[in-house]
Structures are given as C-alpha cells and as structure tokens.
Amino acid sequence: MIVDKNNYNQFCLEHFKNLPNEISIKEGNNKLNVKDFNLVTKSTEAQQAKNIIYIWRTRNGIPRLKGCSNIVYIGQTERSFFSRHGNSKIKAESEANSQKYNDIVNIYGPLSVSYIELEKFDSSTTLLKAEGQFLWWYFQNHSEYPPVNYTKTKIRNAEVEYGV
C-alpha cells in the first residue's frame, strides 16, 4: 500500500489502534484534572504500547491555515505511551498546559489517542523518520503543523510504501 498526503489520514483511521477511553471534562467539573488524563495515559494498553507513532485527536475538526483537522499532536516514543505521557499532572495542572488542553477539549471535544507500532513499517524506517513523515503529510494538507506540535520535520517524502 502506498501512503501519501492524500490518504494518510484514512490510513491512520484504518491502521492505528485506539487507546481506550477519551480525555474529557466530566459533568460537574469545570476543567480537566489528572484523573481525566489517566483514563487514557495509564491504561493497560498505554503501558504496553511501545516503539510507536501516536496521534492525539479531538472529536471535532479544528480550523487550520488551510482546511480543518482533528489531529492536535503527532509524536513517537521508544518507551511505552504511559512512560512518555503518564505524568498527567504536567498536562492537567501547569498553567499553560492546563489552559491549552482545557480550551481544546471545551471547544473541539474530547481527546483520544491512537497509535501504530514501528514494526509495521519497512525495517529501514526509524521512529523519527516515521513521525517526521506524518508531520510532513499534515503540513502538506494544512500549511502548518498540528497545534500542539513544536517539532518540525526535515523528512519530506511524497509517498511511502506500507506493508501491513
């Protein structure tokens, strides 16, 4: 299968696995708290998902410079997703992150996380290359990177062959 800027989003929907639950503001609360993040970041699946490329998504699309996307972050980790994001206190309680994630969830809906193992790609692909490729395809579609990504990429292949 050839993946490119035109079909990468559909590829993600079809081939990435979803971590259980969503990060959302529970009724009666006025903002996200550590427990809301822990439902996703500390799940058994998050503890087992290692050597992965992952995507944080909102339920609804976010207007971008060009078009709209529900992707808010594209990342990678050799460690487990839990090891990378299990310290939810940083996202829920730091002033800047708290504002950012609360605004995202309040305006665009709950956050979910999906991932794919690096082993699904060609053996010459590294996590950094795979992450960079997904960031490049996002950029090609929206003329900017996802709203929570600070990482830019120099990986700029038009297409990549993927074998499931």
pLDDT (mean) for 97-105: 92
pLDDT (mean) for 59-63: 98
Quote the mean pLDDT of the chain. 91
54: β partners:
75, 115
Domain residues for the domain of 20 are 2-161
Report d(CA 87, CA 64) in Å as an integer. 29
- pLDDT higher at 77 or 152: 77
- For 14-60, the pLDDT digits (tens) are 999 999 999 999 887 889 988 899 999 999 999 999 999 999 999 99
CATH number of the domain to which 23 belongs: 3.40.1440
Residue 164 has pLDDT above 70, yes or no: no
Residue 151 has pLDDT above 80, yes or no: no
Domain count, the chain: 1
If you write DSSP's letter for every residue of 100-132 in order, what string do you get?
HHHHHHHHH--EEEEEEEGGGS-TT--HHHHHH
